Amino acid sequence: MEEKVASIIKALKEAYPDPMCALHYRQDYQLMIAVRLSAQCTDERVNLVTPALFERFPTLDAFAEADIAEVEQYVHSCGFYKHKARDIVLACQMLRDEYGGKVPGTMEELLRLPGVGRKTANLLLGDLYRVPGSVVCDTHCIRISNLLGLAQGKEPEKVERQLRDILPPEESSDFCHRIVLHGRAVCVARKPQCANCTLAPWCDHFHSAK
């Protein structure tokens, strides 16, 4: 498995040399907000919504003092807007009141924030603090890890544990970003382009479908 993982990481690095998060942000709390909005919504949609949102509420304090109903109007098109707007305002209040105005750098502290689960926490740890072993288990990561044979099951926490056991800690965050890029470009859920896939040599699904 170690050799297989190393080969997959090498191929992903060659295919996607710049594994950046697709969400646009300038401040740490803005990434937290964007990730919350991205739940069951596309990153493209979030990136269309956040410029006006961040202009209307230009600081953490502005979000902490915002009228939730007004935030709802800005994030309406992202879906589940009532829950998301409430979580955003309450999380920003907690950042201001309990964390000194900064997104915290530990899993335990992040999970206290309204609307922040393990997927969001791992992304924040990996992107903001480069914490080794940060595994972001979104739908692309879960689906493609199963196809490759790196993990089994659809439960995010179980897949996260399985990937954490086999991925080099320093590569895990970038691996997850690259898997998302690969899932959008090649290993598309509805019609995976197996014939053009750089990961085909190490993919259990590809070999079983022959």
Structure tokens, 169: 């800690």
* Closest residue by Cα to residue 85 from 95, 77, 94, 75: 75
Residue 209 has pLDDT above 80, yes or no: no
pLDDT for 28 equals 97
Residue 210 has pLDDT above 90, yes or no: no
Active site amino acids: 119, 138
The pTM for the full model equals: 0.93
Query: Helix (H, G, I), strand (E, B), or coil: what is residue 9?
Result: helix
Q: What is the pLDDT of residues 10-32, one digit of tens each?
A: 999 999 999 888 999 999 999 99
Residue 36 has pLDDT above 70, yes or no: yes
Round to whole Å and give the CA distance between 210 and 112. 47
Domains and CATH numbers, the chain: 2-19+134-208 (1.10.1670.10), 28-129 (1.10.340.30)
Question: What is the residue-averaged pLDDT of the chain?
Answer: 96
Calculate ∠ Cα 106-109-111, nearest 5°: 105
pLDDT for 20 equals 86
* Closest residue by Cα to residue 115 from 176, 158, 63, 73: 63
Count of helices and strands (H, E) across the chain: 12, 0
Q: What is the pLDDT of residues 102-123, one digit of tens each?
A: 999 999 999 999 999 999 999 9
CB 43 within 8 A of CB 22: yes
Question: What angle do helix axes 81-98 and 28-37 make, rounded to 10 degrees?
Answer: 160
Round to whole Å and give the CA distance between 113 and 191. 37
